[in-house]
Amino acid sequence: MKGTVHITSGKQQALQRLFFMVTCCLTVMIAQAQNETIVALKTENLVNPIGIDVDQPRFSWQQQSKREGAKQVAYQVIVGTDSVAVANNRGESWDSGKQSSDALKASYGGQALQPFSRYYWKVLLWDDQGQQRSAQQLAFFETGMRKQENWKGAWISDDNGIAVKPAAYFRKQFQTSKKIKSARAYIAAGGLYELYLNGQKVGNHRLDPAYTRFDRRNLYVSYDVTQQLQQGNNAIGVLMGNGWYNHQSTAVWFFDKAPWRNRPTFCLDLRITYDDGSIETIVTDKSWKTSLSPIIFNSIYTAEHYDARLEQKGWNTTTFDASKWKDVIYRSAPSTHVVSQVMPPIRNVKKIAATSMRKLNDTTYVFDFGQNFSGVSELHVEGKEGTVVRLKHGERLYDNGHVDISNIDQHYRPTDDKDPFQTDIVILSGSSDTFMPKFNYKGFQYVEVTSSEPIDLKQESLTGYFMHSDVTPVGTIRSSNPVINKIWAATNQAYLSNLFGYPTDCPQREKNGWTGDAHIAIETGLYNFDGISVYEKWLADHRDEQQPNGVLPSIIPTDGWGYEWGNGLDWTSTIAIIPWNVYLFYGDATLLRDSYDAIKRYVNHVEEQYPTGLTSWGLGDWVPVKSKSPVEFSSSIYYYTDSRILSEAAKLLGKEDDAEKYAQLADKIKTAINQKYFNKQTGIYGEGLQTELSMALYWGIVPEEFKVKVADNLAKRVAADNFHLDVGLLGTKSILNALSENGYADVAYKVASQEDYPSWGWWIKNGATTLYENWNIGSERDISLNHIMFGEIGAWLYKGLGGIKPDPRQPGFKHVLLEPHFVQGLDNFEASHVGPYGEIKTSWKRKGKKVELTVVVPANSTATLHLPRQGSKALTSGNYTFEWKE
């Protein structure tokens, strides 16, 4: 439906009221109800996943409809192993029955799920017009091992020690005599694996399995390999890399001393179902053979070295002669907790061509990819046998054109010169060679290729691959300000560059799961990408790392580093903030429920340590422009936030006593903060810095009656700072939001769109394609050029300009708060986010003296449109256009 409001008179006040009250005067154009379908069928938030081991998988779907008020009034989920029966509405495993409900989700409630089984499911949906619909295709999910006892293989490895550098090959040949109906490979590893069947790589995942605290929890990955097996002779090949499991490089976090460290090991079950119904499982055991591979060194942290002269052609095929290979050895499992990896894998998501190549001399070339990203480069080269080629990856160039890595190697502590930072080394075979590292990634824009003998390279000789967890994009921002568009793109580029099965701080210097960076970026992440399963995995990592007394380390996963530094409230509040945001964005309380005890333990610990309600445990406003707010102030605000979230979670989960107890604790903390830091006379917190005033507003510390005054003071402070930022990590979360939520959207936009120092635009103007770690580009330290830390602006664009916000009372955008701001200096702006109900969009543009606003509210949700100084209007689902004079 399309409604148009024309407000032409200059008498704004009255007419604006009219805009909202006299809805009967809307010019209404009824659009055809078109393409009403059910889409986005997912199990455990993934499309047709394999390896689902939970007892009650979560199903979700969306009703696609452009009809105003379109709504599901009932649903029925039907699940069974027989696709024909399910298609005919017979679910032998589960039939939910017709449920009168507008929920677009249900959790499996049928018979116990069997392992290794494919379950088909469909949903019947009854809409508000009495129509019954279902999606055209059935959805499915497949269970994996379900139980530890169902593994049949043994953990194997070669008999080398942790210091041995080359990666190992493993292979096994086997016969199948009967016709194959289907086959699945299940592989768990300590370290990283690449799996091959008959010479071909299985799947397109990279750096699998994802990083966990290996001695507490290991991930296994499932593949459908039916097509890759053949009747008769088959060969399985596995190449094992170190990853974080056998960290041979040395840096300040001592991953080389990780308690789990060991030579990579894996366990594999290849389960073949034959046409006659019989099952055979090919497993890892003593019949496997092993040999060292041409990967002569591999480090997730630094780089990979490859000697092409050592290639063993066809090592993973049936025709290979493995008589010289060695026997494998049995190994103990890294942990006894082996669980399915259920999230989008890391992939080579985007191919990036070099934008230029400079030949400095016969043996030195510098490639520029025109953008900073995480991933690898692939080299195609021909040269004299034994030529040593080095590929140094970095983010900056020296004036003389060489690659400069001095901004990213300062925490590296090499013990010799054999493992240079971010530098792959390839030894050429003498014929043409192709090299792309398999067990490493880097952060870079430039690659300097040097060789021991002259080589001839072209711009096409080197290709970049942007690697990250392949999460689906769910958000778009478009505006008339190209710098804002670039800031949004750079924020996403930095976010993705820092998503590798866990959120990291930077893809080059550290690759650490810094907690603080991640909770600041959670909204940016969730507005732009469907990341729920990565966060569910990472919060399981949190639970693995939590001390019995509730303490968490500052980086997760960790080898043990970080329990003593950086792990105060302002960082490790991830434990509460991430589940809470996942709940707000998805309307799914699973992660809150799973994290509840951990949050409680954490808050209880802080309460024990800091009975006054104030805590100075934290790092404070990290890498600020100039002013630094007191650590006690900011950390106590996070303590307040955690207690509040805990109380809300308790309420949701029916834990009345806890809800009351932690609400009281939150009140006590808030009172303590206000008593110590708030001056009621002046309406100033502390010294009245941007971070102090904005954090108090944003996190709900300011007593209601003082909000206007404090906001006014914040706007004045920002004006006194010449409408430029004076914040660090913590203030960056609150500054723009506090302004736009409290009547100063124009001021927020002014700050957000600055193009000189200090601002996001300043980076862009200086060529940034990602976000930086430091406002000061010329800084000597803390100057990674691909940090997500200052990324809240990516979320603010949706909130502060597009005005799309989840309503905590009806989360998951069941009810959408729409509060767009038509800020001075911007002609048009569009924000779109695909939430659990479908696409939500606000799009506004100035047309002469008029403003036109288009709003899309998806089926099954409602919205409240609120415009500053104009009041509110309730909307059902549909497409709306409003137009009025400013």
* Residue 741 engages ligand BGC in binding (rule: CB under 6 A): no
Q: Which is nearer to ligand BGC, 55 or 564 (CB)?
A: 564
Q: Note whether 789 binds ligand BGC by CB under 6 A.
A: yes
Q: Are 10 and 884 in contact (CB under 8 A)?
A: no
User: Residue 395, interface with ligand BGC (CB under 6 A)?
Assistant: no
Show Cβ contacts of residue 503 under 8 Å, excluding neighbours closer than 6 positions. Answer: 513, 517, 518, 521, 525, 534, 538, 788
Residue closer to ligand BGC, measured from CB, 692 or 773: 773
The residue assigned the tokens 């996943």 is 49
Nearer Cβ to ligand BGC (267/506)? 506
Q: How far is the CB of 784 from ligand BGC (least distance, A)?
A: 6
Report whether 737 contacts 799 (CB < 8 A): yes
Q: Which residues pair with 219 in a beta bridge?
A: 339
d(CA 63, CA 38): 5
Q: Residue 414 Cβ, how far from ligand BGC at the closest point, in Å? A: 18
Cα–Cα dist 604/67, whole Å: 49
Cβ-based nearer residue to ligand BGC, 428 or 729? 729
Backbone φ, ψ for residue 733 (5° rounding): -70, -35
Q: Counting contacts by CB under 6 A, is residue 505 touching ligand BGC?
A: yes
Across the beta sheet with 871-875, the strand order is 804-806, 815-818, 862-867, 871-875
> Under the criterion CB under 6 A, does residue 502 sit at the interface with ligand BGC?
no
**Residue 357 token pair:** 């190549």
Residue (272 or 506) nearer to ligand BGC, CB: 506
Q: Kindly indicate which of the ranges 514-522, 714-722, 846-854, 876-884 contains the residues binding ligand BGC, using the contact rule CB under 6 A.
A: 514-522
Between 153 and 503, whose beta carbon lies closer to ligand BGC?
503
Nearest to 462 by CA among 359, 575, 555, 329: 359
Q: According to the binding rule CB under 6 A, does residue 510 interact with ligand BGC?
A: yes
**194 belongs to the binding site for ligand BGC (CB under 6 A):** no
- Residue 66: which residues within 8 A CB-CB, separation 6 or more? 1, 31, 33, 34, 35, 878, 879
- Closest residue to ligand BGC: CB criterion: 505
The identity of residue 181, as a single letter, is: K
* Smallest distance, ligand BGC to C-beta of residue 503, A: 11
The Cα-based distances of 246 to 162, 254, 406, 579 in angstroms read 7, 12, 26, 31
Residue whose CB is less far from ligand BGC, 717 or 787: 787
> Which of these segments, 504-512, 532-540, 591-599, 749-757, binds ligand BGC (CB under 6 A)?
504-512
> In terms of CB distance, is 61 or 622 closer to ligand BGC?
622
Dihedral sign computed on CA atoms, order 667, 630, 582, 208: negative
**Min CB(635)–ligand BGC separation in Å:** 13
Residue 521 per-residue DSSP state: T
What minimum distance in Å lies between the beta carbon of 391 and ligand BGC? 24
Q: Does 506 bind ligand BGC (CB under 6 A)?
A: yes
Q: Is 158 exposed, middle or buried (0-12, 13-18, 19+ CB in 10 A)?
A: buried
Which part of the chain contacts ligand BGC (CB under 6 A), choosing from 9-17, 369-377, 469-477, 508-516? 508-516
Beta strand extents in 729-827 (DSSP E only): 804-806, 815-818
Q: What tokens does 369 get?
A: 């990819």
732, HSE (Cβ side, Cα atoms, 13 Å) = 32
The least distance separating ligand BGC from the CB of residue 255, rounded to whole angstroms, comes to 15
| Binding window for ligand BGC (CB under 6 A); candidates: 194-202, 505-513, 705-713, 758-766 | 505-513
Which of residues 420, 475, 516, 550 is near ligand BGC by CB under 6 A?
A: 516
Closest CB 518 distance from ligand BGC, rounded Å: 9
Spacing of C-alpha 113 from chain mean position: 29
The count of other CB atoms within 10 Å of the CB of residue 399 is 6
Q: Near ligand BGC by CB under 6 A, which window of 100-108, 291-299, 472-480, 510-518? A: 510-518
CA distance 183 to 202: 12
Told to check if 169 binds ligand BGC by CB under 6 A, we report no
Q: How far is the CB of 412 from ligand BGC (least distance, A)?
A: 13
Least CB distance to ligand BGC at residue 623 (A): 8
Give the strand pairing for 804-806 and 862-867: unpaired
d(CA 835, CA 807): 13
Considering the complex, what minimum distance in angstroms separates the CB of residue 411 from ligand BGC? Answer: 7
Q: Return the number of the residue (238 or 506) whose C-beta is nearest ligand BGC.
A: 506
Q: Rule CB under 6 A: is residue 783 a binding residue for ligand BGC?
A: no
Residue 793 C-beta: closest distance to ligand BGC, Å:
16
**Candidates 51-59, 370-378, 506-514, 525-533; binding stretch for ligand BGC (CB under 6 A):** 506-514
Closest contact distance (angstroms) between CB of 505 and ligand BGC is 4
Instruction: Pick the stretch among 286-294, 438-446, 472-480, 502-510 that binds ligand BGC (CB under 6 A).
Output: 502-510
Q: What HEC string does 387-398 produce?
A: CEEEEEEECEEC
The alpha carbon of residue 629 and the mean position of all alpha carbons in its chain are separated, in whole angstroms, by 29
516 φ, ψ to 5°? -60, -45
**Minimal CA–CA distance to 96: which of 56, 69, 68, 128?**
56
Cβ 619 to ligand BGC, closest distance in Å?
5
**Structure tokens belonging to residue 325:** 């290979």
How many helices (DSSP H) and strands (DSSP E) are in the chain?
Answer: 17, 49
For residue 729, the minimal CB distance to ligand BGC (Å) is: 7
Site string for ligand BGC, 544-573 (x = CB under 6 A): ----------------------x-------
Residue with tokens 């990674």: 784
- Specify the residue, 309 or 413, whose C-beta has the smaller distance to ligand BGC: 413
* Between 505 and 692, CB nearer to ligand BGC: 505
Applying CB under 6 A, among 514, 678, 813, 844 the residue interacting with ligand BGC is 514
Q: Which of 517, 726, 741, 792 binds ligand BGC (CB under 6 A)?
A: 517
Count of chain residues binding ligand BGC (CB under 6 A): 11
- Residues in region 596-655 near ligand BGC by CB under 6 A: 619, 622
* Rounded alpha-carbon distances, angstroms, from residue 264 to 221, 329, 333, 582, 770: 16, 12, 11, 34, 34
Could you list the beta-strand ranges (E) of 654-709: 678-679, 684-685
Backbone region of residue 198 per phi and psi (left: phi > 0; alpha: psi in -120 to 50; beta: other values)? left
Contact 652, 589 (CB under 8 A): yes
Three-class SS state of 359: strand
Task: Please give the structure tokens belonging to residue 743.
Answer: 């009547």
Report if residue 315 touches ligand BGC, rule: CB under 6 A. no
Q: Residue 408 Cβ, how far from ligand BGC at the closest point, in Å?
A: 10
Identity of the residue, 153 or 553, whose beta carbon is nearer to ligand BGC in the bound complex: 553
Minimum Å distance from CB 96 to ligand BGC? 45
Smallest distance from the beta carbon of 621 to ligand BGC, in angstroms?
11
Nearer to ligand BGC, 537 or 787 (CB): 787
Give whichever of 315 and 514 is closer to ligand BGC, judged by the CB atom: 514
Binding site for ligand BGC (CB under 6 A): 505-506, 510, 514, 516-517, 566, 619, 622, 787, 789
